[in-house]
Amino acid sequence: MEIADVVKRAYAMPLTNPSFPPGPYRFFDREYIIITYRTTREALEAVVPAPLEIDEPLVKYEFIRMPDSTGFGDYTETGQVIPVKYKGQHGGYVHSMYLDDDAPIAGGRELWGFPKKLANPKIAHEGEVIVGTLHYGSVLCATGTMGYKHREADHDSVLAALAAPNFLIKIIPHVDGTPRICELVRYYLTDITLKEAWTAPAALDLRPHVMADVAKLPVLDIVSAVHFKADLTLGLGEVVHDYLADHDRVATSKAQPEKIRA
């Protein structure tokens, strides 16, 4: 294989047999259960990276069922998104994600910097209740329950939330273990078709686990819950802040001797 061929083919790993195809990535009948809860500002301050700013001490715990997606297949995901601001723009910081399929784990981490880990989330419809669970190995780490389609949710509000920007920290290590890439990435969901949206009472139980630390953002009280289905496209990202470049700039500035006043 010639050098030019390596560069041409090198969009993902492994070089000759990538885990996922090139995008864009379209999702059909994507089902969400999002339980918004209040937590402590101190817990958020420990995990939200600057230059993002905490909007309110809220967390959106999400269970997402993806039965049909181009390139990534059929899988289920769960995790926490924190409402934040970036230069006055309201959006969400993706803090944690747990899912059960290799392709979206590899693609999510390599392309955008999604904080994806392999686990076993589930969404089940049990009579008049929707149940979301997260197992990491044999340990139950999260349980969310929500009433089934009690009241129709405001579609404009749901669409506005889906269309808002999302932020990630993309980290790629160098071969010596130091960071090679450390960037704040922004991405959007596009071409959204909201099919249905409902609200109902909900409950959420998060439990400690050393490798699935969802309980480190404790649940104080439930604010709201929404259950909806949509078709949408996961847009590719853009870098909005380069942490390494900023660090190097600050280090260089500090290393320069102060000018002696005449």
Q: Active-site residues: which are they?
A: 116
Q: What stretch of H or E contains 27?
A: strand 25-38
> In the beta sheet, which residues pair with residue 99?
77, 118
Tokens of 154: 């405001």
In terms of residues, how long is the chain?
262
Q: How many CB atoms lie within 10 A of CB 161?
A: 19
Beta strands in 57-188 (DSSP E): 58-66, 68-69, 75-86, 89-99, 116-118, 120-126, 129-136, 139-147, 151-152, 166-173, 179-187
Q: Measure the CA–CA gap between 68 and 28, rounded to whole angstroms.
A: 5
- Residue 262's Cβ-side half-sphere holds a number of Cα atoms within 13 Å equal to 0
